[in-house]
Amino acid sequence: MELEILVKNFKSKDHLAFEELYSMYHKSIYGVIFNMIKDTEIANDLTQDVFIKAWNNSEKYSNKKGRFFTWLLNIAKNTTIDKIRSKSYKNNKKNVSSEDFLNSFMCNIDSNSTTNTIGLKNMVSNLEPKIKNILNLIYFEGFTQKEVSEELNIPMGTVKTRKRNGLNLLKTLFV
């Protein structure tokens, strides 16, 4: 089924469209979330949350503002940042057993292959270093634009411009 029709049916609460879009995008969304949170169980839960949020707020999506996948990525990024900043998550991370630490470390080794399922990390790595750095911080490390601005000591407008330029370059690679 064509993507436009799938999205239209998704917005009309068609369960088959939901299943098809989930099948198309869940691995990519999971990869982005996992790279930010580094926990398989939480990444799986948040992936489910992202699709539920998209389903419940499908009327807010507009193809005039961007592609459906980009909309899902933004939901994933915001959902993950909310989780990372939550008090319960911070408290859980304070008391990590040595076994959990080792498991987390071993899972990290697989994170690149998960993200590279669609070649996204390779595409980003081929961008100009200034743009690549900003996209890595925002989409793979979970930084906000303000945090990137402070971290790199550059104006917020520069962060936004480089992010937009980078996403536009990536978009041309996907089309």
* Secondary structure (DSSP) of 107-131: HHHHHHHHHTTTTHHHHHHTS-HHH
Residue 147 — pLDDT band, cuts 50, 70, 90?
confident
Average pLDDT over residues 103-118: 49
Q: What is the CATH number of the domain that holds 49?
A: 1.10.1740.10
The pLDDT value given to residue 136: 83
Residues 150, 74 share a domain: no
Point out the domain boundary residue: 47, 70, 93: 93
Residues 152, 70 share a domain: no
Domain membership of residue 128 as a residue range: 100-173
Residue 18 — pLDDT band, cuts 50, 70, 90?
very high
Q: Residues 134, 140, 144, 148: is their CA dihedral positive or negative?
A: negative
Point out the domain boundary residue: 46, 77, 93: 93
C-alpha distance from residue 76 to each of 55, 81, 97, 98, 127 (Å): 13, 9, 27, 29, 23
Domain count of the chain? 2
- Residue 48 half-sphere exposure toward CB, CA atoms < 13 A: 5
**Rounded distance between C-alpha atoms, residue 33 and residue 42, angstroms:** 9
- Which position has the higher pLDDT, 135 or 90? 135
Residues 109, 68 share a domain: no
Q: What is the CATH number of the domain that holds 108?
A: 1.10.10.10
Tell me the pLDDT of the chain averaged across its residues: 81
Point out the domain boundary residue: 93, 111, 146: 93
The pLDDT value given to residue 175: 57
92-96, 122-126, 161-165 — most confident range: 161-165
30-39, 114-123, 127-136, 160-169: least confidently modelled range: 114-123
Answer for the pair 97, 159: CB distance below 8 angstroms, yes or no: no
The token duo for 149 is: 């601005």
List, for residues 114-128, the tens digit of each pLDDT value. Answer: 444 456 777 777 788
C-alpha distance from residue 148 to each of 120, 157, 163 (Å): 20, 11, 11
Q: What is the pTM of this model?
A: 0.55
